[in-house]
Amino acid sequence: MRIMNLSFVFLLCQVLSAPVLAQRNQVSDHPGFVDFSMLSSIAGIEPTVEVSLQGPILTMMTNLIRNQNVEAANFISTLLSVSVQVFESQEIVDAPGMSSTMSEIAASLDANSWSRIIRVREENENVDVFFRLSDNGELIHGITIMVAETGETVLVNIAGDISPDDISAIAQRFNIQQLEGLDEKD
């Protein structure tokens, strides 16, 4: 009887974990997904802030705000994953492994159909912002932001199928003038 109970528990765990694993595979296979896990191991420290929003959490957020802000809800509903990692340390920016790996990720993004839209190299600050566009340029599959400055490194990846209309609507709603009009065609 005990073996049957253990078998049932094992089977139940397999059935319940299948959707979670499928969601993870769907996200990691998406063209807008970037895996920053190798930076965590190189840094040798845990992130001080780590945000990981996927699937059901994003759906819940969409449903919670739909009545108050339709534009934001529509935007969130197009996302598969939002990942943010913040590392705080005086040595992190100067660590050759971290800097080298961030450069490797940037080079990989450059080589894999990502468009670098911002690159800043100053004495104490490195910033890279990338967009991964669909083949027809109608959607943004991913946004990746890497910021390294003295004392702090911030890594952001947003994966989904984002319309420039959605970004423009959010910009108008929150008065982000730099992004307003993004949906306008020249």
Residue 59 lies in a domain: yes
Structural domain range at position 129:
31-173
16 lies in some domain: no
Neighbour-count burial of 31, counting CB atoms closer than 10 A to its CB (0-12 exposed, 13-18 middle, 19+ buried) = middle
Residue 20 located in a structural domain? no
In a domain, 15, yes or no: no
- Number of other CB atoms surrounding residue 75 within 10 Å: 21
pLDDT of 68: 87
The verdict on residue 146 lying in a domain is yes
Other beta carbons less than 10 A from residue 69's beta carbon: 15
In a domain? residue 183: no
For residue 148, what pLDDT is reported?
83
Q: How confident is the prediction along the chain (186 residues), in pLDDT tens digits per residue? A: 444 433 343 433 344 433 433 344 578 999 999 988 777 666 667 788 899 999 889 999 989 988 888 888 888 889 999 999 988 766 544 455 566 777 888 888 999 999 999 888 887 788 889 999 999 989 999 999 998 887 788 899 999 998 887 777 666 666 666 555 555 554
| Separation between Cα atoms, residue 141 and residue 14, nearest integer Å | 31
pLDDT value at residue 93 = 46
Is there a domain that residue 63 lies in?
yes
- Predicted local distance difference test score (pLDDT) of residue 104: 83
Tally of domains within the chain: 1
25, part of any domain: no
Quote the pLDDT of residue 125.
80
